[in-house]
Amino acid sequence: MKPRIIVTRRWPAVVERILAERFDTTLNAGDIPLTPTQLKAAFLNFDAILPTVSDKLPASVFPDGDVRTKLIANFGVGFSHIDLGASRQRGIAVTNTPGVLTDCTADIAMSLLLAVARRTGEGERQLRAGEWAGWCPTHMIGTKLSGKTLGIIGMGRIGKAVAKRAHFGFDMKIVFFNRSWVEDDQICAMAANQVPTIEDVLAQSDFVSLHCPGGAENRHLIDAPRIAAMKHAGFLINTARGDVVDQDALIDALENRVIAGAGLDVFAEEPLVPERLMQLENVVLLPHLGSATEETRVAMGMKAVENLTAFFDGRPMPDKVA
Report, as residue numbers or ranges, the catalytic residues: 241, 270, 288
Angle at 318 between CA 316 and CA 322, to 5 degrees: 80
Apex 200 CA angle, 197 and 204, nearest 5:
155
**Three-state SS for 52?**
strand
Give phi and psi for 298, each to the nearest 5: -65, -45
C-beta neighbour count of 33 within 10 angstroms: 16
Helix (H, G, I), strand (E, B) or coil at 48: strand
DSSP 61: G
Say what angle helices 157-170 and 102-118 make with each other, to 10 degrees: 50
Kindly state the helix (H) or strand (E) to which residue 303 belongs, with its residue range: helix 294-312
Query: Which of 231, 313, 221, 235 lies closest to 268 in space, CA to CA?
Result: 221
Distance CA 21, CA 27 (A): 12
Taking Cα atoms as reference points, which of 64, 61, 39 lies closest to residue 50? 39
Contact 300, 76 (CB under 8 A): yes
Instruction: State which H helix or E strand residue 117 sits in.
Output: helix 102-118
Range list of β-strands (E), 154-220: 173-177, 193-194, 207-210
Determine if the peptide bond prior to 274 is cis (ω within 30°). Answer: no
